[in-house]
Chains A and B, each alone.
Chain A
Amino acid sequence: MTEMKEKRTPDMSVEIAGVKFKNPVMTASGTFGSGMEYSEFVDLNHLGAVVTKGVANVPWEGNPTPRVAEVYGGMLNAIGLQNPGIDVFIERDLAFLKQFDTRVIVNVCGHTEEEYLEVVERLADQPVDMLEINVSCPNVKKGAIQFGQDPGCLEDITAKIKRVAAQPVIMKLTPNVTDIAEMAKAAQAGGADAISLINTLMGMKIDIEKRKFVLANKTGGLSGPAIKPVAVRMVWQAAQAVDIPIIGMGGIASAEDAVEFMLAGASAVAVGAMNFHDPCLTQKVVDGMEQYLIRHNILTARELTGAVL
């Protein structure tokens, strides 16, 4: 008698810092608003988490236009973290997100330590599952990336945020550093519950006909498939250096890309700039990852983390 091999539906759930996600697919901050705009295309209930656009203590105007430019295999942006501030965010955006059965991770930005702490404190009694601290935006003049490029500063601000945060804290790292492992260790030393990487790589584009910078801000953050190999490498290096979970991102355009990040050491992944190419991409990555697990007879998505041979 031949035994029928049962094809089981794989368990897609993952856990990060005690928070359980139905699958490892999230949205990268700044590429998905607060979910409202993309809810026309994707059922947010199917996502592991929605990671919101960065929110500050007060509304931020952002940078002058042009703010975006396309480059080979990617794009540059210098939005400058335009956002409505925490009051409107709580009232409108969080209220909207709570209608869905998905985890909510709020990305927090600030110019100064006090500004970060104010937002973190305001979110303490809100229905938020995790906080992601943006110490890595290359497009604001003051704050943000300054905290993320010096290991001492990063550890310090992480510790201060951890002291007031009611939710587990993810520190979002910039790739614009010499040694990503050192930065990952600094975040861990400061008490971070997880890290996410990579934010955008600082880039530039010049219009040779007009001899002008294409972006009003001159420099901008590079994202999209062009940065994926850098991101995979950095996730792997960070995974070698720390024990805390990693959320991997940078140019994910398919389920295969997402699996690559998991194998490099990520516990979850985020889809970013490619949402602009295909507004339904997050859902396709969820479905494709499940198909990958079935094809390879893997029972849980968790097993992929760091499973590169």
Chain B
Amino acid sequence: MADSTYPMPGSLAEAPRQRWSQAAILEWLHSWVTTVDHKKLGILYMLYSIFFLLVGGVEAILIRIQLMQPNLHFISPQVFNRLFTMHGTTMVFLVGMTYIFGFANYLIPLMIGARDMAFPRLNALSFWLTFFGGLLLYYSFIGGGGLYGQGNAPDVGWWAYAPLTSRAFTPGHSTDYWALSLIVTGFGTIGASVNVVATALCMRCKGMTLMRLPLFVWLNVVTSALALITITPLTAAQIMLLIDRYLGGHFFDTQAGGSAVVWAHFFWIFGHPEVYVLVLPAFAIANEVIPVFSRKAIFGYPAMAAASVAIAFVSLGVWAHHMFTIGMTSVGNAFFVLSTMLVGIPTGIKIFNWIATMWGGKIRFATPMLFCTGFLVQFLLAGLTGIMLSVAPWDWQLHNSYFVIAHFHYVLVGGIVFCIFAGIYYWYPKVTGRMLSETLGKWHFWLFVIGFHITFDLMHIPGLLGMPRSIYTYEANRGWGTLNMIISIGGLIQAVAVLVFAVNLVWSYFKGKEAGNDPWDAWTLEWAAASPPPAYNFATDPVVTSRRPLWDLKHPEDPDWKYE
């Protein structure tokens, strides 16, 4: 580590080695709260994301324990409602939306050869808005005066359907906490998205044309552009909700001519593209990991970029497939069935391109690649159940059942969380200068993949048997008991796997193998910087001539630009 540290107060490499006098701690803390460095903010985003991943995970485990057996009263129904609401809200807004900007912040400037993001101070503001927004949400556990005045977290589901959210049905402030804190984190998201787009379009180093941007950057630009038009409708709808609740408005008040269905439309106009906002950065990670561990250039670069843009476009016109059971005209049904199926085309292009990248390659199954392989298989299956649910009559049968829960957890866990883990294993050496332990990594992967499949494969079945989502408990004679028991055990196995991961993160930080600048023999610019990179990233501005600048340097006799 000696050759790669820089005399930077508070840089990751330095901080823990200082003597922990009070002044040193304060100075260290000060350097983190006042930082405008994209790498430090990226780390903050990631730590925040991982912290809430654990919190949301604990909530999930509590839910699973409650559902383990019929007629169980492990927690009260009220607490159960709060838990599944907070689990969803946390995972989507505090984990999903922050891991995106964690990776994007840390990596985009490095990948495009820039010194920092386009707006470093706005970057800091965006993170802290997200940070305090999350705190405000969790403050509701003690501050949200509920029915009897005691603390009360939001308990209306993360979709918060009207009219349940009206004053008459949710007195107190829990729903307001939900709306207000998400408006605040929404501001953070908009700021960060603006920053990502501006950085990738305006801060590229010499020679980094748009068609040479690493796909990671491409996909994050698409994500951020999508986030700009996705988060804002939610903000607008939440403002309407607050107007209804505080100023006596009638947007969602059917007794004054308003419409509760409009809330559902507005929520899913946000909610469905949001899924793509979450999954595209996961694709971005796979786009970097799979070629490097297959020792081949990515297959079909332009098709991959175009497919991402296509996914973003199509995703804007599919929201009402969440609302087949609310009732629409048959033309409306047909439109949303077809538009939803259309998503399968660009997504299919991506899956084929990843497989084509692996095909004939010299694949190394290091932990990042293991996670990406798992992602490929699971994401395909998740997509297939998605196509099933896009068929309106099928959805009429299974809407709001555990089949739907299983489907979207297959996407969110099997697709996104697997890619997050892959990304962390892949870039941890760059961030800290040390490798994550491969042994613990393999344990983590296998435990997680087994736990995942036990939980979410089986979860489809109670859904098909009619078990609705968000239920507190169920009768013994329904025949869901055994399945739920096994599902919960799978959840516990996943929890153990995540603990292994957490141990790995901490242990490797102190005792891990020295990484060097380029442990994976990779090709994008971030591996040309030291590990961890100095505050200014590159001493001289890099110049690139192809999509794989490091390949060109490593193989001067056979550079990429000859073929592009």
Report whether chain A binds chain B.
Answer: no
Instruction: Give chain A's interface residues, CB within 8 Å of chain B.
Output: none
Instruction: Give chain B's interface residues, CB within 8 Å of chain A.
Output: none
